[in-house]
Chain A
Amino acid sequence: MTLDLLLVAALLWTAVQSLATPNLFRGVVLFIVFGLFMALVWVRLHAADIALAEAAIGAGLTGALLLNGVGHLRAKQQSTLP
């Protein structure tokens, strides 16, 4: 019970923060963390298969792709700005 309440609070907080932050990188890392919390929520809902997909795709692959995207954006910014 305690775990579930903490989990929901953390999930909502990371979701809002990752969308609201002006810092792109911070948003991406918070998104990865959000993926982990989401996987834990699925576990608590007894949906182990969805949790597995969320852990693999949300926390792992999407995180890597978004980090890659941040890298590209930064390289582009540095080449256009003086």
Chain B
Amino acid sequence: MTDLGMVLEVFLFINLLVALLKVTRGPTHADRMLAALLFGTTGVALLLLLAHTEGEPALVDIALALAVLAVIAGAAFAQRAWRGKWEGNEHS
């Protein structure tokens, strides 16, 4: 059973690496940020699985913190970093 957990952990991590491609490629700022938020959700799942396979319930708390704080980064992006009119090219 923990074997399956470990396989799934590697699988989810590879998923993260594929999403990393989107972060580096863009093309728009929103794409990068959304990929980073996807990291949040996948990261939460990964941490929950790790909590199970390593038998450390404290990791659930980390997952909780990650889930909640991802919003702060998302909100900071939407409210502060990404203002002004769309010009079709964001020097990506």
- A interface vs B, CB < 8 Å? 2-3, 6-7, 10, 14, 17, 23, 25-26, 28-30, 32-33, 36, 39-40, 43, 46, 48-49, 51-52, 55-56, 59-61, 63-65, 67-68, 70-72, 74-75, 78
Contact = CB atoms under 8 A, between A and B. Distances in A.
B81 A63 contact: no
Contacts of B47: 40, 43
B30 to A, nearest CB: 11
Most buried by B among A59, A61, A74, A75: A59
Interface of B: 6, 9-10, 13-14, 16-17, 20, 23-24, 26, 29, 32-33, 35-36, 39-40, 43, 46-47, 50, 54, 56, 58-59, 61-62, 65-66, 68-70, 72-73, 75-77, 80-84, 90-92
